[in-house]
């Protein structure tokens, strides 16, 4: 499996011919409702035989396939890297032996939709956290949630805690709460997971309420929300830049056992109106909708290697200029490489109803999903 970045002059038909794969399969795997692909767009090719293109080297093929160069060489012992010719077949090695847990969030909609989506994602899921119960100041649940149908079709029971904006003064109280909850759940055979904001150090005042070490000593798994470095209240930029994600992991593994850490990734980006001004209009956009928007407005997609994130600009029908930063199969692949590199428990997403058609393909390229 590898990724082709659309070049000027490419079409789905020409990509289909280059790699001997049906156009309809390309559309299905990548969730393409239309065929007007744009330069810079990432197209996932679900094949393990790569057809050499003009200018290719083993190094460039390894980068397209997100596999180590030495493994690519080992999978092709009879290929002389200095004698590559267009049309030659290169075997892409299987790197999916890493067993990983997945924990993703799901926002309840209706019994029919809930059952359908959970069943669809069951092959790719270890845990699904059904979102959300809210609590009042007295500790009572203050909202109604028709989650019984979703729970009945699920396969594992437990509790995920996502308390946000915890004050530094309350960090020990929070850990004490988690410890009491863990004791109660463990006695009944249930799992306790927790979602925490991304931290890269202890000197971030607004995150002082989250003691990674203390939290990690109590819970079964800790889902790190490694996203929203740029958000609706900020200037345009990457939502989950790879350098910040890496720094978060390196901080976390010094506080929490690696096999308790689940790296959270976003199935969304943001669409900023330009020129940016504080308070100007910003909207969230799913990764799939971002790709559709670029195709609709025939806007070339750029990719920042520094932050490993795609982005583009477009002008809407009213003449307003927008800048969109989102995630695609390239940026997701980089994050999955980090899970393998640091030996983490696994990966998860916010949130499944946003959709990302190529996501399960990328997931199973890198991992064997742990089942419970």
- Separation of alpha carbons 240 and 332, rounded Å: 10
Q: Residue 155 has what pLDDT?
A: 60
Q: Is 349 found in the same domain as 316?
A: yes
Stretch (H or E) spanning 181: helix 171-187
Residues 346 and 258 in one domain: yes
- The residue annotated as part of the active site, out of 24, 152, 156, 164, is 164
Query: For the domain that residue 317 is a member of, what is the CATH number?
Result: 3.20.20.80
The verdict on 259 and 120 lying in the same domain is: yes
> Which of 67, 91, 115 is the C-terminal boundary of a domain?
91
Give percent above pLDDT 90 in the chain.
82
Say if CB 358 and CB 114 are below 8 A apart: no
Is there a single domain that holds both residue 205 and residue 330? yes
- Based on the fold, state whether residues 140 and 201 are members of the same structural domain: yes
Same domain, 240 and 280: yes
Choose the final residue of a domain: 41, 70, 91: 91
Query: Residue 117: which domain range?
Result: 98-369
Query: How many domains does the chain fold into?
Result: 2
Mean pLDDT of 58-76: 96
Q: What is the CATH number of the domain that holds 78?
A: 3.10.350.10
Using one digit for the tens of pLDDT, what is the confidence trace for 135-154?
788 878 877 777 777 777 77
Same domain, 246 and 289: yes
| Same-domain pairing of 105 and 74 | no
pLDDT in tens, 171-191: 999 999 999 999 999 998 899
The predicted pLDDT at position 156 comes to 66
Q: Are residues 198 and 249 in the same domain?
A: yes
Contact 145, 132 (CB under 8 A): yes
- Assign 195 a pLDDT band (cuts: 50, 70, 90): very high
Is residue 61 located within the same domain as residue 110? no
Q: What is the pLDDT of residues 246-300, one digit of tens each?
A: 999 999 999 999 999 999 999 999 999 999 988 888 999 999 999 999 999 999 9
Residue 139 shares a structural domain with residue 275: yes
What's the pLDDT score for residue 32?
96
Give the span between the Cα atoms of 43 and 297, in whole angstroms.
18
pLDDT of res. 106: 87
Pairing of strands 268-274, 346-350: unpaired
Is 281 a known active-site residue?
A: no
Task: Identify the domain boundary among 58, 76, 91.
Answer: 91
**Segment holding 113, helix H or strand E:** helix 111-121
Q: Are residues 48 and 106 in the same domain?
A: no
């Amino acid at each position: 499996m590898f990724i082709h970045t659309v070049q000027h002059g490419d079409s789905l038909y020409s990509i289909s011919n280059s790699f001997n794969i049906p156009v309809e399969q390309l559309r299905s795997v990548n969730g393409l409702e239309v065929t007007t692909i744009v330069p810079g767009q990432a197209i996932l090719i679900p094949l393990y035989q790569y057809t050499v293109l003009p200018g290719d080297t083993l190094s460039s093929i390894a980068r397209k396939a997100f596999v180590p160069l030495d493994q690519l060489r080992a999978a092709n012992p009879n290929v002389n890297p200095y004698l590559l010719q267009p049309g030659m077949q290169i075997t892409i090695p299987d790197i999916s032996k890493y067993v990983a847990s997945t924990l993703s969030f799901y926002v309840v909609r209706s019994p029919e939709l809930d059952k359908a989506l959970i069943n669809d994602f069951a092959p790719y899921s270890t845990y699904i956290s059904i979102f959300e119960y809210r609590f009042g100041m007295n500790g009572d649940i203050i909202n109604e949630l028709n989650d019984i149908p979703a729970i009945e079709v699920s396969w594992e029971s437990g509790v995920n805690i996502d308390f946000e904006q915890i004050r530094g003064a309350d960090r020990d109280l929070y850990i004490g709460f988690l410890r009491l909850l863990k004791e109660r759940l463990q006695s009944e055979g249930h799992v306790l997971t927790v979602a925490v904001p991304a931290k890269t150090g202890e000197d971030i005042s607004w995150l002082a309420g989250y003691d990674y070490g203390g939290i990690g000593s109590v819970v079964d798994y800790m889902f790190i929300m490694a996203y929203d470095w740029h958000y609706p209240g900020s200037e345009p930029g990457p939502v989950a830049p790879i350098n910040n994600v890496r720094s978060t992991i390196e901080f976390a593994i010094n506080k929490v056992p690696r096999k308790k850490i689940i790296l959270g990734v976003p199935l969304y980006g943001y669409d900023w109106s330009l020129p940016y001004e504080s308070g100007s209009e910003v909207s969230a956009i799913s990764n799939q909708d971002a790709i559709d928007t670029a195709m609709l407005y025939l806007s070339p997609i750029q990719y920042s290697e520094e932050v490993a994130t795609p982005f583009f600009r477009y002008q809407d029908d009213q003449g307003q200029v927008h800048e969109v930063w989102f995630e695609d199969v390239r940026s997701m692949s980089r994050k999955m490489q980090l899970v393998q590199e640091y030996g983490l428990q696994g990966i998860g997403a916010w949130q499944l109803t946003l959709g990302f058609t190529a996501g399960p393909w990328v997931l199973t390229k890198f991992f064997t999903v742990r089942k419970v």
